[in-house]
């Protein structure tokens, strides 16, 4: 028994594959960019809901870097901002009782609060040892009259990228069900024309 294989290849087959590749890359990039734009929109909503920072602030600091058609395509949602002080969106309150006889006993506490009260991550709580100075929620570093440290709440970049944050898990789940569908829809449309 003898096996014989004849391979016949059309001369234009490789050119055809190369031309399809050049048509498919822009279509795949369009699908990827469409998916990432939706990821950005959803991330702004999720981060705002989780942290209590207004959507305008989150959206203004979150930008989209689109993918270009090439051998490797990468689209990025990038957030860059400073740590947001508690005083900015936390509505801080610190009641200082200047009358130590207010509760009827001599030598009472100067302040009736454990610390300044503010809202961070949509939770209102007291920060022990903190007080409000110059409109900021601060705490002393070290003993005595040491330097003051301004307390912060959310860092938007962490909310977008840290694996322990709820936005990251939700974005991964959305990518698993959405990205391939969007890219394939654009690729099939490009092949059909």
Count of positions (residues) in the chain: 193
List, for residues 161-180, the tens digit of each pLDDT value.
Answer: 999 999 999 999 999 999 99
Q: Are 73 and 66 in contact (CB under 8 A)?
A: no
85 phi/psi in degrees, rounded to 5? -65, 150
Report the alpha-carbon distance of residue 184 to residue 180 in Å, rounded. 6
Nearest C-alpha neighbor of 119 from the set 84, 148, 153:
153
Report the alpha-carbon distance of residue 123 to residue 5 in Å, rounded. 73
pTM value is: 0.79
Name the more confident of 37 and 143: 37
Q: How far apart are the first and last CA of the chain?
A: 47
List, for residues 145-160, the tens digit of each pLDDT value.
Answer: 889 999 999 999 999 9
Dihedral angle of Cα 22, 27, 29, 31, to the nearest 10 degrees: -160
List 120's β-bridge partners, or say none: 123
List, for residues 81-130, the tens digit of each pLDDT value.
Answer: 999 999 999 999 988 766 666 566 665 555 567 889 999 999 999 999 89
Quick one: pLDDT band at residue 46, thresholds 50, 70, 90? very high
Q: Name the DSSP class of 2.
A: -
Report the alpha-carbon distance of residue 137 to residue 157 in Å, rounded. 22
């Amino acid at each position: 028994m003898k096996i014989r294989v004849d391979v016949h290849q059309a001369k234009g087959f490789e050119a055809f594959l190369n031309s399809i590749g050049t048509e498919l890359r822009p279509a795949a990039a369009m699908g990827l960019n469409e998916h990432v734009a939706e990821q950005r929109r959803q991330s702004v909503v999720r981060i705002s809901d989780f942290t209590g920072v207004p959507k305008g602030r989150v959206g203004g600091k979150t930008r989209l870097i689109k993918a270009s058609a090439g051998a490797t395509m990468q689209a990025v949602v990038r957030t860059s901002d400073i740590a947001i002080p508690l005083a900015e969106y936390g509505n801080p309150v610190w009641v200082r009782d200047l009358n130590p006889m207010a509760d009827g006993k001599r030598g009472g506490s100067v302040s009736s609060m454990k610390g300044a009260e503010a809202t961070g991550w949509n939770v209102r709580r007291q920060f022990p040892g903190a007080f409000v100075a110059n409109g900021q929620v601060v705490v002393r570093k070290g003993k005595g009259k040491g330097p003051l440290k301004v307390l912060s709440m959310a860092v938007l970049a962490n909310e977008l990228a840290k694996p322990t944050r709820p936005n990251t898990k939700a974005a991964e789940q959305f990518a698993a069900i959405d990205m391939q569908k969007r890219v394939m829809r654009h690729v099939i449309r490009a092949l059909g024309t």
